Amino acid sequence: MKVLCVAEKPSISKSVSRMLSKDRYQTRNTKNQYIKNYEFEVYLNGELCQVTMTALLGHLMELDFDERFKKWYSCPPLALFNAPVKKEVKSDMQALSDNLIKESRRANMVVIWTDCDREGENIGAEVVSICKSANPRIRVKRAKFSVIQPREIQTAWENLVELDYVQADAVDARMELDLRIGAAFTRFQTLQLQSKFTELDQKIISYGSCQFPTLGFVVDQYKKSQDFVPETMWRIDVALEKNGTSAKFYWIRSHLFDQHACAVLYDLCAEVGIATVKKVTAKPTEKWRPLPLTTVELQKLGSWYLKMSSDRMMSVAEKLYNNGYISYPRTETDVFDDNFQLHPLIEKQVNDGRWGGFAQRLLNGGFRKPRKGKHDDKAHPPIHPTRDASGLQGDEQRVHELITRRFLGCCSENAKGHETVVEIQIASESFTARGLMIMEKNYLEVYTYDKWSDSSIPTFSEGEVIRPSKLEMHDSQTVAPSLLTEPELITLMDKSGIGTDATIHEHIKKILEREYAVKEDDKYFCPTTLGMALVEGYDSFDIEIAMSKPYLRSQMESYMENIIARVKTKDEVIRLSLQMYREVFERAIEQADRLELAAAKFLGHEPDQVARPNQQIGERVRDCMRCNSPLCLKKIKNLNHCVGCSTYPKCQESKFLPDAVIEASVSEEICERCSKPASDVQKLNLTFDKVVNPILQNAVCIYCSPEWRLFVDTQPRRNTTTTKANPVIERQQPLRVNNQPANTNTVPNPNTIRTNVQDTNTDVKCQCSLPASIRTVQKAGPNKNRQFYGCSKGKEQGCDFFQWADVDVGNTQPARANGGDNQTTWNNNNAGNFQRGSGSGSNNFELYQQQMNMENRDEDVGDTMKKKCLCDLTASLKVSNKDNANKGKKFWTCPKTARRCTFFEWEDGTAVSTSSSSGSSSSRSRGRGRGRGRGRGKGRGKSSE
């Protein structure tokens, strides 16, 4: 039988191969430099198996939104609660997936050797889905293990179990919820604050359903400390001295906040001046040995005793586990099973010079069964050492030492001592003193992190009367609560159900990385101004459940446990959790101005723009033609609506809507003509002021609609004189040269003109809404030295705008190259915006009508007759209107209005002529080449229409 074994990490794969094969294995390389395939033979249930052991690098797959929703401006953030998601192989894990597919095709069974926790089950489920896609009949088994030791690995191999898909479902549910909730809130708060505060314009203000309550704990403690008002309190101190030994006695009342009352009691005591011993209690006492070690406790101990962050602590522990020094470090269990073999683990420590003697005494009779805690995840035992510390250095040695001393301490006896408690009375007031004598240190000998010290007091007997050596009244002040330390924060998160034992350190790390909090003196967590602003902003919302508190996330975690308990399904948990957060999110959108006000308060200045309640964040219309970032619908102060690049001012691509448009929104309707695969172009819903245009009552595409062009070109021209040079233009402008006046009216093909840029004209705008450059024709011909306007960004990066400088397009029509009929000059291709000159709207309307009359007309055809162009779009059927032999003849061509492909085909199947007159080519170039260029007009000119 051929068996494919899959481990979660390369180190585990190699170790398991070595142990199962007794070091008799062969190695094959894969396409990934870190992943090896180990081949060996081993028996399973009496059958000899040919085994291939390979490895992963964590999760193979990732969950993400559909392409339409990935970009920030692709949809309103609220839509992410319902947007389609998909789980696919990560791009950098494709080689590992290919390796699994190849190996599974020739295997009869796949055995999952991932870590035995929820994440491990989920990774195993990913492996199974890939293997079954290549071999649907492959059997699936799972190896359960907690330590990388030969005996445990062999036991796991001989006792394979089924993969727990329920645990995998719980992880899938958490992943989907974290993706949807995190992305929605992150986009919302980032876009809401970036546009109002310049110091945040390059910052991603992330949100996480665990990360935010973690920040909430930090902010809450900080506010308690800041709001604390100290109070004065008073107390009475007493000391008794006997046989040269002094004992300090503590007042039973501890302290009083009333100075007068304390003074009265003090006067009574001073007046009596004698202390009477009322009770002496002597009894044996013990200091309890520690419980077996859990992940949460390990993180706290690392911070307390080793001064290491929880994230660093877990990183080192993970490395120790992978190298076989300790058991699996992610466990909630603080109970060793009754059948767990502890003596062999102790034996491995007897040769260590630091605690070897103590380990030997345990084996010689000092061993005691560890205490039993209250937690058992049924997956892993408590953390313990699996070998000695030979070869370890630095942090790895320190962490291993902590784990080993803790383990040996658990297997020892409690420390034992003798405690004496003495109670005295002066007047009506009682005071106590305690003394301790340690009899047996036991576990304290090895677990040196715990402290238990002797405190000697004199011997007293009941009824004894003695005069105090000190009787004083003192005042002091209450002390403000300190900021949270990492162990305290971990404890709060653990009690509140924020994160799991395996993820708590990650959430703490995130609030530091996101600069929501900092660590003062490398010990205390203090929120930053941004962290304070976010928490106060959300807490100011009029919602029932404060988002900075742990309630929402705790409820979600309890739902996850319901999946494990098979009480709820994955889909039910996702639905219920999203419903909770969606309600909160909708309220957050309604009250977004409160978030801005909180940010203004802590950032120290008003928003850069006037806060507008319920302002809609700009929605994506299409991808930018210059930088491929989203072009979004915006409303800019004093400039009405525009569609502009989301990366402004880095990219200044924009298209302003006329003043008559008073309301605009992005429609759900997609423009079929302009859209490309994975790059939709949305239509706009428009509301007009004064201008009533029934043609534009429905959603309209502002890039290709002839009705929209007609409407735009009949509107009064906006005064958009530029007073500041565009820095992008300045960098891209060629050097200036001397020019001579023009003398003809021929319209050249932009692809064949050699030009020099002279200057920019701020009154003439190209299709990019930028000042056009004045250029001069250099090529020999009738138009040599004639000036014209072109896009200042150049034809490779800009638009195809063209206009003669000596022609007023509002009133004059230039002559055709070869004489004959007059032809209108337009600045775009035949679907672009008509260039508005200084003439009246009526003249523009007449020119536009002329253009539409001379243009080839689209014909309506049935779906069964449609053809595809080279862009894989449905071709347009047009009719030739030129005065030649082809007039009235129908042909198919690319439907796009800009940057068309070269597709051309007569409807009747007539072959396309490849040799035509120069006049025909010139005419075709003029009809298409103006504003098109880039060789396309010339190519089409070869056909005789």
Beta strands 2-7 and 109-113 are parallel
- Residue 864 has which token pair? 């069964």
Exactly one of 38, 73, 325, 328 is catalytic; name it: 328
Q: What beta strand segments (E) does 797-889 contain?
A: 802-804, 857-859, 876-879
Scan for tokens 């005793």, then name that residue: 305
- Helix, coil or strand: residue 494: helix
Distance in angstroms (rounded) separating the CA atoms of residues 828 and 826: 6
Integer Rg of the chain from CA: 40
Task: Find all residues with CB under 8 Å of 227, minimum gap 6, and list them.
Answer: none
Phi/psi of residue 641, each to 5°?
A: -95, 150
Q: How far is CA 273 from CA 252, 262, 431, 880, in A?
A: 18, 16, 14, 122
Q: How far is CA 237 from CA 269, 334, 464, 882, in A?
A: 11, 43, 20, 112
- Contact between 641 and 655 (Cβ < 8 Å): no
Give Dmax (Cα) for the chain.
Answer: 134
- Residue 164 has which token pair? 């727990």
Q: Helices 295-305 and 394-410, interaxial angle, to 10°?
A: 120
Burial (CB < 10 A; 0-12, 13-18, 19+), residue 382, is buried
Handedness of CA 783, 786, 791, 797 (dihedral sign): positive
CB count within 10 Å of CB 76 equals: 17
Query: b vs e for 395-420, b when ≥16 Cβ sit within 10 Å of the residue's Cβ?
Result: bbebbbbbbbbbbbbbbbbbbebeeb
- Residue 941 has which token pair? 């000119």
- Residue 254 has which token pair? 């501890």
How many whole angstroms from its chain centre is CA 208? 8
Phi/psi of residue 135, each to 5°?
A: -145, 85
Beta strands 139-142 and 109-113 are parallel
Q: Give the DSSP letter string of 579-591.
A: HHHHHHHHHHHHT
Numbers of helices and strands, H then E, in the chain: 24, 31
- Which alpha helices (H) appear in 459-564, and where do they start and end? 486-496, 504-513, 529-539, 551-564
Q: Helices 118-134 and 94-104, interaxial angle, to 10°?
A: 60
Q: Is 449 a catalytic residue?
A: no
- Contact between 215 and 197 (Cβ < 8 Å): no
Phi/psi of residue 237, each to 5°?
A: -105, 140
- Contact between 12 and 116 (Cβ < 8 Å): no
Scan for tokens 């530029």, then name that residue: 722
What is the set of active-site residues?
A: 328
